[in-house]
């Protein structure tokens, strides 16, 4: 069931800012890379920065090939520094660690989130629909 959700999610339409047409559909998967564009108005609206500062279970792990259990591994325990992604991370390519679908608490609709590797114990939480629509992330 989880694989079916991810397979459906990976067929998301991404906008390529270098292309003449903005309606191309490309498949992305865990391990692929996406670009974070330059900051507009000195901020990102749909990308958060998470740095994990305490690991209560240092032996914990997740499947690095599929991204399975990454959310549980990284977010369910420990302490974090959280803020809007700093502009210094813009105009660079980052590897996709995991993609997960949450249910929106207000609407009940699917809310896809992509997690990007920003470095040691640091990830970007990307609200996929908003980030794609506002061109905060793109494929090249």
Is residue 33 over pLDDT 90?
A: yes
- Report how far residue 86's alpha carbon sits from residue 34's, in angstroms, rounded to the nearest whole number: 17
pLDDT tens profile 110-130: 999 999 999 999 999 999 999
- Give this prediction's pTM: 0.80
The predicted structure's pLDDT at residue 12: 41
Tell me which residue has tokens 């992305």: 28
- Average pLDDT over the chain reads 83
The predicted structure's pLDDT at residue 140: 77
- Report how far residue 82's alpha carbon sits from residue 85's, in angstroms, rounded to the nearest whole number: 9
CA distances from 95 to 31, 34, 98, 122 (A): 6, 7, 9, 12
- Domain spans, the chain: 2-16+26-138
Give the mean model confidence (pLDDT) for residues 5-9.
38
Six token digits for residue 36: 């974070």
CB 78 within 8 A of CB 123: no
More confident residue, 13 or 107: 107
The predicted structure's pLDDT at residue 25: 64
More confident residue, 57 or 25: 57
């Amino acid at each position: 069931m989880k694989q079916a959700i991810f397979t459906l999610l990976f067929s998301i339409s991404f906008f390529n800012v270098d292309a003449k047409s903005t309606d191309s559909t490309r498949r992305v998967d865990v391990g692929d890379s996406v670009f974070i564009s330059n900051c507009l108005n000195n901020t990102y609206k749909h990308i958060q920065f998470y740095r994990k500062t305490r690991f209560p279970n240092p032996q914990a792990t997740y499947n690095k090939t599929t991204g399975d259990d990454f959310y549980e591994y990284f977010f369910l325990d420990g302490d974090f520094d959280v803020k809007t992604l700093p502009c210094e991370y813009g105009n660079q390519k980052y590897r996709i660690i995991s993609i997960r679908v949450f249910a929106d608490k207000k609407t009940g609709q699917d809310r896809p989130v992509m997690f990007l590797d920003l470095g040691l114990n640091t990830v970007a939480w990307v609200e996929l629909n908003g980030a794609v629509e506002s061109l905060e992330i793109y494929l090249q």
